């Protein structure tokens, strides 16, 4: 019987025999697909990517999975893929059951914090500082006042705001507007990656309570007090 070799990625053990190798690469069901879910993605972005591989796609709540690279068989269905991602997230969280953050916050709250960090942070160090600001403000019962939550509210979670955020935007009455409402938003505002969750559980400490983005330096500027924050912000604006 003739065998046709299929092209693609395959999951092959290191000690497989030549005969078994031929069986593997000649069976299209053994082809492995790969999908990368980007940190900070919206539901719409993930649905678009998943539509390349699956039919009958359902909405995946931000809090249910971790943004990462996943491998799955070519003929897998969406339900099996989804169950696998949920299991992976559950196993990850189980590693932190004794962590002080896990004990203080629910998993949903941790994912909410992570999603805010994803939308605000630039890199690992920046995310660590922003994480500390969020926890510091929560501990002091201060409003978070995070722009990303307002943009989420205005754009209904699509982040397609093609203008600068205006002062009047900060006053909109919306449960995700952290300039109006104390505490965390009701749900995450994006998908969260493992690196950001690691940062949260690291519980990085600073005394920072404020920050703003400096376009000239292309980074966030952090401050411990409102007076310090206002001074740095005025200096930045005077140079624009």
With 0-12 / 13-18 / 19 or more C-beta atoms within 10 angstroms meaning exposed / middle / buried, residue 35 is: middle
Write down the mean pLDDT value for the chain: 89
Distance between CA atoms of residues 51 and 55, nearest Å: 6
* Among 3, 229, 32, 197, CA closest to 110: 197
For residue 9, what pLDDT is reported? 53
* Among 134, 28, 33, CA closest to 78: 33
For residue 76, what pLDDT is reported? 87
Which pTM does this prediction carry?
0.86
* Among 77, 79, 88, CA closest to 29: 77
| Segments in the chain below pLDDT 70 | 1-31, 240
Q: Which helix (H) or strand (E) holds 71?
A: strand 69-73
For residue 181, what pLDDT is reported? 98
For 115-136, what is each residue's pLDDT tens digit? Answer: 999 999 999 999 999 999 999 9
Backbone angles phi, psi at 213, to 5 degrees: -95, 125
Distance between CA atoms of residues 64 and 30, nearest Å: 27
Could you give the 3-state DSSP secondary structure of residue 73?
A: strand
Distance between CA atoms of residues 72 and 50, nearest Å: 12
* Among 85, 61, 91, 39, CA closest to 199: 39
Q: Which residue has the tokens 């931000």?
A: 62
Which long-range contacts link 167-174 to residues 24+ away (Cβ below 8 Å)?
A: 170/145, 174/150
**For 29, how many CA atoms within 13 A lie in the half-sphere containing its CB?**
3
């Amino acid at each position: 019987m003739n065998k046709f070799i299929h092209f693609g990625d395959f999951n092959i053990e290191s000690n497989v025999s030549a005969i078994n190798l031929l069986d593997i690469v000649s069976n299209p069901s053994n082809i492995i697909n790969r999908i990368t879910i980007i940190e900070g993605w919206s539901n719409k972005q993930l649905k678009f990517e998943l539509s390349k591989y699956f039919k009958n796609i359902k909405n995946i709540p931000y809090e249910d999975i971790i943004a990462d690279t996943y491998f799955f068989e070519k003929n897998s269905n969406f339900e099996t893929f989804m169950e696998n991602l949920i299991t992976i997230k559950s196993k990850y969280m189980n590693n932190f059951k004794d962590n002080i953050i896990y004990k203080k916050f629910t998993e949903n709250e941790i994912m909410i914090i992570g999603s805010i960090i994803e939308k605000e942070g630039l890199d690992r160090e920046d995310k660590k500082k922003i994480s500390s600001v969020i926890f510091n403000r929560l501990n002091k019962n201060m409003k978070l006042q995070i722009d990303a939550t307002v943009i989420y509210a205005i754009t209904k979670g699509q982040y397609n705001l093609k203008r600068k955020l205006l002062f009047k935007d900060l006053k909109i009455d919306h449960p995700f507007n952290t300039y109006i409402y104390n505490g965390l938003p009701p749900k995450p505002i994006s998908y969260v990656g493992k690196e950001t969750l690691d940062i949260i559980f690291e519980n990085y400490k600073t005394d920072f309570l404020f920050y703003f983005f400096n376009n000239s330096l292309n980074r966030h500027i952090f401050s411990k007090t409102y007076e310090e924050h206002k001074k740095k912000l005025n200096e930045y604006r005077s140079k624009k």
